[in-house]
Amino acid sequence: MATLCRPSVSVPEYVITMEETLELARSRHGDHLQLPLALRLIENTGVRTQHIVQPIEETLKHPGFEELNRVHVAEAKARVPAVVQRALDDAEPLAADIDVIVYVSCTGFMMPSLTAWLINEMSFENTTRQFPIAQLGCAAGGAAIDRAHDLFGDGIAAAVVRGRGGEGISLERNGSYLIPKTEDWIMYDVRATGFHFQLDKRVPATMEPLAPALQDLAGLHGWDAADLDFYVIHAGGPRILHDLSTFLQVDPHAFRFSRATLTELGIIASAVVLDALRRLFEEGGPRHRARGLLAGFGPGITAEMSLGRWQRHEETV
């Protein structure tokens, strides 16, 4: 049985607060008719701090796609190996023990993928299979976990999925679900100045059609999605967490890890569910064999979902 072990998460050192974001909006768009609405929307996100890879003054320059992608490549190579190594150290395998690297990103573009560079840089075996995935946005962390389970054999996160042993979520079933006719609700408008994020106003209401997909997956496994021991959910915003707890009939406290990620780090795209899982580990984790659900939501509109039981290290063989 595959076990999803403790994630390693890193965020950049530059921080912008809610108050700074609001002031930035006022100073740059003071005469915009929709400014009061925009300020209310920003305040309602619940995000108190956001981490970025360079000072906000540099971020606002929009130097063009070529320079932005150069920054993406340089920052990824500077930051990813340490995060991967911590995940390996926690899960205890060596780089030479890894069979597959699943890499997800929606920030920039590299070909060959960063996986090829990692294999050379960190001395993974030359036979290590590469599985780079792009364009899944906030669902990507869930997709990486699901694809690792299937294959068994601006924040950064890494986690090891072991074929046997280890502490974490013993993965038992996974699934994907796409809401029809919503592919343009979350999207990038690719311009010379980079990737411009576009979000349809209907996105916050998507938990009503997605909650049944989570319930159906749990039902296929003989579980009740409303009666599990832990939940690791994409922190897409206060309404998403509120609506999902309502439609699943789950106590809002069950989503406390996701809510903490949202408040302290914001929406960190591909890494978001892994940070919530990290917080579950830091709390000590649930009891051995506790049942849980992990789900990430992103462009499509897509849900990537996993079911599993918590496995304590002392119980492994």
Taking the CA atoms of the chain, what radius of gyration do you get in angstroms? Answer: 19
Would you say residue 316 has pLDDT above 60?
no
Residue 201 belongs to some domain of the structure: yes
* Mean pLDDT, residues 33-56 taken together: 88
The predicted structure's pLDDT at residue 314: 62
Range of the domain at 195: 168-315
Q: Is 241 part of any domain? A: yes
Q: Which residues lie closer than 8 Å to 105 by C-beta, 6 or more apart?
A: 76, 114, 132, 134, 140, 270
Within-domain flag for 87: no
Would you say 176 and 300 are in contact if contact means Cβ atoms under 8 Å apart?
no
Residues in the chain: 317
pLDDT at 43: 87
pLDDT given for residue 209 in this prediction: 92
Q: How confident is the model at residue 151, as a pLDDT?
A: 67
Mean pLDDT of 275-286: 93
Is residue 193 situated within a structural domain?
A: yes
Mean pLDDT of 267-284: 89
pLDDT of 145-194, one tens digit each?
776 766 654 777 888 888 888 899 999 999 999 999 998 888 888 888 78
Residues 6+ away with beta carbon under 8 Å from 227: none
Binned at pLDDT 50, 70 and 90, residue 38 comes out as confident
Q: Tell me if 280 is assigned to some domain.
A: yes
Asked whether the whole model's pTM tops 0.75, one would answer yes
pLDDT band at residue 217 using 50, 70 and 90 as cut-offs: very high
More confident residue, 195 or 211: 211
| Contact in structure between 29 and 190 (CB atoms under 8 Å) | no
Question: Quick check: is 213 in a domain?
Answer: yes
Distance CA 258, CA 264 (A): 10
**pLDDT tens track for 87-139:** 999 888 888 889 999 998 888 889 889 999 999 999 899 989 898 888 777 77
Please, are residues 266 and 259 in contact by the beta-carbon 8 Å criterion? no
Q: Give the residue with greater pLDDT, 310 vs 155.
A: 310
317 pLDDT band, cuts 50/70/90, is: very low
pLDDT at 18 over 80: yes
Q: Is residue 79 part of a domain?
A: no
Q: For residue 272, is pLDDT > 70? A: yes
What is the number of domains present in the chain? Answer: 1
| Spatial CB neighbours of 270, under 8 Å, sequence gap ≥ 6 | 104, 105, 106, 136, 137, 138, 140, 141, 144, 157
| Cβ within 8 Å of residue 174, ≥6 positions away | 145, 146, 149, 150, 217, 304, 305, 306, 307
d(CA 269, CA 108): 13
**Mean pLDDT value across the chain:** 88
Question: How far apart are alpha carbons 274 and 168 in whole angstroms?
Answer: 12
- CATH number for the domain spanning 283: value is 3.40.47.10
Is 173 in contact with 219 (CB distance < 8 Å)? Answer: no
Are 113 and 103 in contact, with CB atoms under 8 Å apart? yes
Which tokens is 269 given? Answer: 């795209």
Q: Helices (H) and strands (E) in the chain — how many of each?
A: 10, 14
| Residue 138 annotated to the active site | yes
pLDDT of residue 153: 45
The active-site residue, picked from 98, 138, 217, 233, is 138
